[in-house]
Amino acid sequence: MTLQTLAEVLQPALRQGHAVAGLVTLGWEDMRAYVAAAEAEGCPVILQAGPSCREHTPLPVLGKMFRHLAEGASVPVVAHLDHGYTAEDCRIAIDSGFTSVMFDGSRKPLAENIAETAAIAEMAHAAGVSCEGEIGFVGYSGGEGSAGTDPEEAAQFARETGVDAMAISVGNVHLQQDKQGGLDEARIRAVEAVCQIPLVIHGGSGVPVAQRRALARGSAICKFNIGTELRMAFGAALREAVNRDPARFDRVQILKETHEPLVAATRTVLQAFKGE
């Protein structure tokens, strides 16, 4: 069994100069492809259950799916709750066998975010589970705007919450379909200067690949969340499979044809995060 906590994969990444991909899952087809890609690349992978995934499949089921894949994998696999908005979300995930929870209090005032994140980190650590928090708000493409992370607030947040990883807002945006943006490296360096924990980039699909690679090898950013980019690859493969034979109706046969294209796309993503 290669199930690991977030801390167990991010601490080596921080020391050795690489990053680990947090891959946003929506169902069995993508999570299975993500593990296959990680095995082909010989690197750890973080399987993430975000809000849209949880709307479709209950957390106890997702926990069993993640753990089943981890038990058969030859590389470390983290079962991670992405954007838990309440302590109850995080508690259910822990009870369901997740090895890592991310509490998102980024919309809350600083003191409230710190207090609630610290309580969840304490609960998680008591169960042998890692905890990720977020300071500064990461917005959404075409939706809510971002509020950049203040380095001094980040230092206070890291110190007072005891989280294992800290998501920051440095020009990243959720659900971005292109890579025309880029991260604010000066702000990243300012946060790094006052914090000693692994940093996380949400909305990693919008970050140019060259910048992903450089930051993975030369900064404290140890985790990039990737969702939209791989959803687009899955959608393209599914559309092609459906259109190839409009008379087909067996979804198992159709979905099988998404596997290899999604593995290939995922391998490309993972390669950018590996060390020298």
State residue 75's pLDDT score: 97
Q: Write the pLDDT tens digit of every residue in 197-244.
A: 999 999 888 888 999 999 999 999 999 999 999 999 999 999 999 999
Query: Do residues 192 and 199 touch, judged by C-beta distance below 8 A?
Result: yes
**201, 199, 191, 197: which is closest to 224 by C-alpha?**
201
Query: Do residues 191 and 199 touch, judged by C-beta distance below 8 A?
Result: yes
Beta bridge partners of residue 224, listed in sequence order: 21, 201
The fold for domain 3-271 equals: TIM Barrel (3.20.20)
* CB contact set of 253 (below 8 Å; sequence gap of 6+): none
Among residues 82, 89, 150, 164, the one annotated as catalytic is 82
Stretches in the chain below the pLDDT threshold 50? none
State residue 171's pLDDT score: 75
Q: Which residue has the tokens 């971005």?
A: 176
State residue 264's pLDDT score: 98
State residue 221's pLDDT score: 96
Catalytic residue flag (residue 164): no
Beta bridge partners of residue 98, listed in sequence order: none
Residue positions in the annotated binding site? Answer: 83, 104, 134, 174, 202
Q: Which residue has the tokens 């302590």?
A: 87
Q: Which residue has the tokens 């998501």?
A: 167
Residue ranges of domains in the chain:
3-271
